[in-house]
Structure 1
């Protein structure tokens, strides 16, 4: 009897857990009159201008998505609230319903997808190594005995350790609280290399005091799909994906990319100079929400 009771309770708990994964984001937005956008302080795709203002490729993509949501839900006065997130807390803030759309630089992977949903891929990222040009570091094997920086809450160092060229390469690790802090570790000489998404590395180098002193070198450590992250609400995800599809097909997404990667950007007017990758073009031509595990590195 007890055994049957335990099985029944276990089944009920599993069922309850499954139901708990799906939430009514659309209902929440309608009742509150507000949509909460998760933004980053120093990502290559979303960053702060100060005074509560944000900018960047993914920030602008989400601005267009939110405009489409306003039209779809007939909520012209929908208010947008910005919630700064970090690499450490972004998934938790989406999971607990604090954030409705996270528009930073988050990789869609299977582990995260257990707790959150991802829109179709908007950017295909390559994890790379940034160094000072005079460091003598040109590949993974050159990191032996060096100090490597990355950002707390990211998986870049784990990715490096798993790379086939990293076998037998021992290095020390230091962690920045955010991407700007991690780059400062490299810039100040407290780290010999900074491992992170190529767009983040390029953006931090472009905005540094002496961009000519840095280089992105070595092998591509991994290829990762970056996407808007949101709570698990299939109807809401469909709404977001439809908005992205329109941007893909109209050529608007390419214009947004050119604006933020090939033209001078605020606040300093620097140009990141990162041409549109073919892998990202392919993702736009064939919209999908495949996780990183489906990409060959």
Structure 2
């Protein structure tokens, strides 16, 4: 056997070994399909277009990762299937093996790392506030004695609840089922503000019938690194995903994907969010890591 043939054989042997070693990779190799979990309305990360197809920044990142997995497993084709998830069940769908990658807007937290694995963050955001355009509120203290809504079971809800209790602000905190419902509560004056990751607030704002009647205010109350989610029981899968994320960043393909979704017009209204990459993400991508502080 020539040296070249030997190297190829060793490489293929390593790939096959990794595929058998990890339960998720083994299932993907055997079935020839991968299931991506997505959100319905987390603009611009993961949402449905006019034809009800999942699109977005996170979906594009997952598409790149999916192709890298196909190549690593030496598959001639890899069918992509989709599973719609919500803020309530996105982690559970990965835990229960109903999805292989979650491509939504899920933050990497210590609590969630007990259940699932995360790759290198593709975005860093934090909790801010959506209010009506004529509101004088500029920070959390401005909601003292008023009503503030957040989405059920999110880090933002936990953060404002904790701060409200610690600072004795007497804020009436309400829970919405999703971001759209929360925005509607502001518009209908059922609440004075909506606390959520600022980029999601801007995404919701871009879809409202009268976006000029709402605004996003305040400094970051929390910092939330958003990442692709996968099984904690398949370290070989995580290694593949991490490797592809590092390649996307070093080749600057990730920067181009970012620009497509954050600085240029996007569906459904062909409005640009005009959100340049913040310094937190720029700095993290200089030395890409999945180690995050929270």
TM range (shorter): 0.7 to 0.9
Structure 1: gaps of 5 or more residues: 1-21
Distance 1:131 1:101 in 2: 34
Q: Deviation at 1:131? A: 0.6
- Counterpart in 1 of 2:173? 173
Distance 1:103 1:117 in 2: 13
Asked if the contact 1:120–1:241 (Cα under 8 Å) also holds between the matched residues in 2, the reply is: yes
* Secondary structure of 1:61 counterpart: helix
**Residue 146 and residue 181 in structure 1: after superposition, are their counterparts in 2 closer, same or farther (change >3 A)?**
same
Structure 2: gaps of 5 or more residues: 1-20
Point out the more displaced range, 150-159 or 96-105. Answer: 150-159
Distance 2:76 2:267 in 1: 28
Distance 2:268 2:75 in 1: 32
Distance 1:121 1:263 in 2: 21
- Counterpart in 2 of 1:283? 284
Distance 1:180 1:228 in 2: 23
- Counterpart in 2 of 1:151? 151
* Secondary structure of 2:49 counterpart: strand
- Counterpart in 2 of 1:129? 129
- Counterpart in 2 of 1:101? 101
Render the CA deviation track for 1:185-223: whole Å, top value 9, x for unaligned: 222222211110111001111221222222111221011
Q: Deviation at 1:166? A: 6.4
Distance 1:92 1:165 in 2: 29
Q: Deviation at 1:35? A: 0.4
Is 2:12 the counterpart of 1:29?
no
Distance 1:291 1:95 in 2: 21
Q: Deviation at 1:173? A: 2.2
- Counterpart in 2 of 1:92? 92
- Counterpart in 1 of 2:76? 76
Q: Deviation at 1:247? A: 0.7
- Counterpart in 2 of 1:224? 224
Distance 1:185 1:172 in 2: 14
Q: TM-score, normalised by structure 2?
A: 0.88
Q: TM-score, normalised by structure 1?
A: 0.87
How many residue pairs are counted as aligned between the two chains? Answer: 272
Asked if the contact 2:132–2:213 (Cα under 8 Å) also holds between the matched residues in 1, the reply is: yes
Asked if the contact 2:207–2:268 (Cα under 8 Å) also holds between the matched residues in 1, the reply is: no
- Counterpart in 2 of 1:262? 263
- Counterpart in 1 of 2:112? 112
Distance 1:166 1:139 in 2: 16
